[in-house]
Amino acid sequence: MLHATTLIVSLIVFSAAVIAVLVARPAITATRGGKILAFVAMFCLPIFCGLLGFSREMGRAKTTGFCLSCHTMEAYGKSLLVDDPTHIPASHFQNHRVPSDEACYSCHTQYAMFGGLRVKLWGLKHVAIYYFGTPPAPENIKLYEPYNNRECLHCHLGARSFEEGAVHNADPGTLPAIKSNQLSCISSGCHEITHDLAHLKDAKFWKEAK
């Protein structure tokens, strides 16, 4: 990952150097070759660099470390280590049901068109509130929209444990209701324990093996 960043930064430095030469010696662009060079340096290279950089930044913004780098998120990070299999985020993180280095993003993205971009725009709003507003207490943070089953079904749909689960099939209407998002996976009596910050101080924690 560091290697990729080095390559992108090197390309950016190269592009900036070429543009700097064109700015310092505008007469270069008088010739046909100069015009082509100027177009490549002023249009093609910056767009290419911008896209590469954006893709790199987006990749970095998906990491668990990135999300937990804000103090407000510390308690949420801690909740991933609760030693309780009924605690949904913790059991997913500890058993690698989601990639541990992208734990937050895997469950809190939207598996829909431009979903990743949409949640990152929300992320920009979080950062703006963090730096320029008054961030709420961690336990008062609410999702922008009710949690959609689509995010769970992205992985669980078709899985034997989900499709043939006894509780899911106890009533013939349950499974279709879950699949159509009419019955939330995290509704009361189902997989209701999510981050549960209120009981975090009394929780027992798992010590991750290094």
Partner 1 sequence: MLSTNRFERRRQVAGVCVVLGLVIEALCLLWATPIAFVVFVAIGGSLMFVGIVLYLFSLVNTVVSPE
| 56 interacts with partner 1 by CB under 8 A | yes
With CB under 8 A as the contact rule, which of the stretches 46-54, 74-82, 140-148, 198-206 interacts with partner 1? 46-54
11-19: list long-range contacts, CB under 8 Å, 24+ apart.
11/45, 11/48, 11/49, 11/52, 12/49, 12/53, 14/45, 15/41, 15/45, 15/46, 15/49, 18/45, 19/46
CB neighbours of residue 103 within 10 Å: 24
Token pair of 157, please?
């749909």
With CB under 8 A as the contact rule, which of the stretches 40-48, 98-106, 135-143, 193-201 interacts with partner 1? 40-48
Q: Which of 36, 112, 128, 129 binds partner 1 (CB under 8 A)?
A: 128
Is 46 in contact with 15 (CB distance < 8 Å)? Answer: yes
Min dist. Cβ of residue 203 to partner 1 (A): 27
Dihedral sign, Cα of residue 194, residue 199, residue 204, residue 209:
positive
Is 102 in contact with 64 (CB distance < 8 Å)? Answer: yes
Length, in residues, of the chain: 210
| 165 interacts with partner 1 by CB under 8 A | no
| 53 interacts with partner 1 by CB under 8 A | yes
Is 91 in contact with 191 (CB distance < 8 Å)? Answer: no
Q: CA 206 to CA 82: how far, in whole Å? A: 6
| 23 interacts with partner 1 by CB under 8 A | yes
| 114 interacts with partner 1 by CB under 8 A | no
Compute how many residues bind partner 1; rule: CB under 8 A. 36
With CB under 8 A as the contact rule, which of the stretches 54-62, 90-98, 139-147, 187-195 interacts with partner 1? 54-62
| 143 interacts with partner 1 by CB under 8 A | no
CB closer to partner 1, 40 vs 203: 40
| 34 interacts with partner 1 by CB under 8 A | no
| 16 interacts with partner 1 by CB under 8 A | yes
CB closer to partner 1, 29 vs 174: 29
Token pair of 91, please?
């059991």
Contact positions toward partner 1, by CB under 8 A? 5, 8-9, 12-13, 15-16, 19-20, 22-23, 26, 29, 38-39, 42-43, 46-47, 49-50, 53-54, 56-57, 60-61, 66, 69-70, 123-124, 127-128, 130-131
